[in-house]
Amino acid sequence: MNTNLTEIQEVWKKALPIISKSVSQIFYDVFIASLEPISISDNKLILIAPYESCKKSINKSYKPIIEKAVMQFNPYIEGIQIITTSDVDSFVDAPKSIIAEETTALEEEKTTVSKDYYTQFEESYSFDNFVIGGSNKAAFVAAKTVAENPGIQHNPLFIYGGVGLGKTHIMHAIGNYIKSNSKKKKIIYMTSENFTNDYIDSIKNNNSNDMNRQFRNKYRNLDVLMIDDIQFISGKPSTQEALFHLFNELYQAKKQIVFTSDCHPKKIDNIDQRLTSRFQSGLTVDISSPDLETRIAILRKKAYNKKFEVSNQVLNYIAECINTNIRELEGALSKVIYYCNLNGVKADNLDVVNNALKDDIDNISGPITMNFIVKCVSDYFNIDQKDLIGKKKTKNIAEARQIAIYLISDLISVPLVSIGDFMGGRDHSTIIHARDKISDLISTDLKYSNYIKDLTEIIKKK
């Protein structure tokens, strides 16, 4: 009997919808859809399963159903035989031409695959260099767990959040960690665009619309697959289909999968619902915008890594001004350092920041900042801003300073230490004293309660 590969695939394609009616959706998605017909031998259709347990599960319960379905479409087929890729070499009964074709392809893949697994991870994107705060703690802990024991817990891990908040950093940290602890692990990090391109190339090169052998073998042999910015798979049904099958294979084989996205899986448009549900079947965690304290800690770490001395007051000020995302925060720090190097000055006063970040600061219209409160208080009492946060102890200046401290602690949530740093490097006990003193005065002295009422109104108009 002379049956070529295209005819065999045709038979299989026709049989699939019939099989799908007789098995559960999940069994179909996970096992049946991963089978690939390769030849007919001894009147049996030979199907390759991606791994041993898949072969066993099908043989155990569903072989007769599959046999019945395929027999309808080719009179020469009397049964099926399921093998795995490792059986191909010893599979001597199959028509030589087809098996030869397949095995040569497999050999070629074996040599090309290995270099595909060497994703270069950005060394500085490590867990050690990741500053933990309330906004990213859940993602950090989950990522660390995954890196320590890939495929055991949290599979898939789905991390989502806005731009510049550390998603890519975390993925590289997982990669760096796994690589340094176990050199043998096959691990790929890629953007979803790269994944799409890879898939499209594989179709072009093989003239087939099916998820072809080379593509599948490259990915299904992985220990860890990480796809960054998966939201870009939106509106690409064939890539989604390929990812869906790959996901099932890796998941069944307990291989770790990590995705990031700029939004929750449910919010990704134009995507197959089966994928949306797969994305959410493990752990879904978000990264949100860091609070002031975390932003300050990140800046401190970045300044330290750059070996550039930046005063606490300056770090506080930059962190206050730039509250969009961490990438911009880093950019602002770089600008300040560049400005200081260019002008041969130290990063130890607010003028330096104001000059270096002139364009950035002018455009800020966000939440109330310490800097804004100090500006309002100094305008209100007609006192120079520098004096307000400086050392002068003149009564009116000292009093305005205490009022500013009270308003900061009342209107925005900032740690006392950060207020102290911002107000000219004062101790946190000084901050507590100022805050409590004004708080007492408000309830006993109308003059003070009016100051606070006026100023609060002015500040809140921002």
Which of 125, 372, 406, 451 is close enough to bind ligand ADP by CB under 6 A?
A: 125
Which of the stretches 211-219, 249-257, 322-330, 449-457 binds ligand ADP when contact is defined by CB under 6 A?
A: 322-330
Least distance between ligand ADP and beta carbon 134 (Å): 11
Least distance between ligand ADP and beta carbon 389 (Å): 28
User: Quick one: how far is CA 96 from the chain centroid?
Assistant: 47
What is d(CA 259, CA 230) in angstroms, rounded to the nearest whole number?
Answer: 6
Strands 157-161 and 79-84: unpaired
Helix (H, G, I), strand (E, B) or coil at 45: strand
Site residues for Mg ion, 155-174, by CB under 5 A, read 167-168
Least distance between ligand ADP and beta carbon 391 (Å): 34
Least distance between Mg ion and beta carbon 257 (Å): 17
Least distance between Mg ion and beta carbon 457 (Å): 42
Closer of 19 and 165 to ligand ADP (Cβ): 165
**318, exposed or middle or buried, with CB in 10 Å at 0-12, 13-18, 19+?**
buried
Least distance between Mg ion and beta carbon 242 (Å): 22
Q: Does position 327 bind ligand ADP by CB under 6 A?
A: yes
Site residues for Mg ion, 367-426, by CB under 5 A, read none
Decide if 212 contacts 203 (C-beta within 8 A). Answer: yes
| Chain position whose Cβ is nearest to Mg ion | 168
What is d(CA 55, CA 32) in angstroms, rounded to the nearest whole number?
Answer: 10
- Tracing tokens 């260099």 back to the chain, one arrives at 129
Q: Does position 31 bind ligand ADP by CB under 6 A?
A: no
Which of 187, 257, 299, 326 is close enough to bind ligand ADP by CB under 6 A?
A: 326
**150, exposed or middle or buried, with CB in 10 Å at 0-12, 13-18, 19+?**
buried
CA distances, 178 to each of 126, 215, 250, 255, 264 (Å): 11, 24, 17, 13, 26
Which of the stretches 63-71, 104-112, 164-172, 275-283 binds ligand ADP when contact is defined by CB under 6 A?
A: 164-172
Q: Which pair of tokens denotes residue 197?
A: 């391109």
What is d(CA 333, CA 198) in angstroms, rounded to the nearest whole number?
Answer: 37
What is d(CA 66, CA 419) in angstroms, rounded to the nearest whole number?
Answer: 71
x-marked contacts with ligand ADP along 127-156 as a string, rule CB under 6 A: --xxx----x--------------------
What is d(CA 81, CA 94) in angstroms, rounded to the nearest whole number?
Answer: 11
What is d(CA 18, CA 73) in angstroms, rounded to the nearest whole number?
Answer: 11
Q: Does position 164 bind ligand ADP by CB under 6 A?
A: yes
Least distance between ligand ADP and beta carbon 296 (Å): 12
Cβ neighbour number for residue 417 with a 10 Å cutoff: 16
Closer of 170 and 250 to ligand ADP (Cβ): 170
Closer of 12 and 177 to ligand ADP (Cβ): 177
Site residues for ligand ADP, 165-204, by CB under 6 A, read 165-169
What is d(CA 35, CA 83) in angstroms, rounded to the nearest whole number?
Answer: 10
Q: Which pair of tokens denotes residue 355?
A: 């000059």
Q: Which pair of tokens denotes residue 139?
A: 């993602």
Length of the chain: 462
Least distance between ligand ADP and beta carbon 167 (Å): 3
The listed partner (Mg ion, ligand ADP, none) that binds 424, CB under 5 to 8 Å by sort, is none
Number of chain residues interacting with ligand ADP (CB under 6 A): 16
Closer of 126 and 280 to ligand ADP (Cβ): 126
What is d(CA 338, CA 336) in angstroms, rounded to the nearest whole number?
Answer: 5
Q: Does position 378 bind ligand ADP by CB under 6 A?
A: no
Least distance between ligand ADP and beta carbon 228 (Å): 7
**143, exposed or middle or buried, with CB in 10 Å at 0-12, 13-18, 19+?**
buried
Closer of 310 and 442 to ligand ADP (Cβ): 310
Is omega for the bond preceding 156 within 30 degrees of 0, making it cis?
yes
Closer of 167 and 236 to Mg ion (Cβ): 167
Closer of 150 and 166 to ligand ADP (Cβ): 166
Question: Which residues of this protein are in contact with Mg ion, per CB under 5 A?
Answer: 167-168
Question: Which residues of this protein are in contact with ligand ADP, per CB under 6 A?
Answer: 125, 129-131, 136, 163-169, 298, 326-327, 330
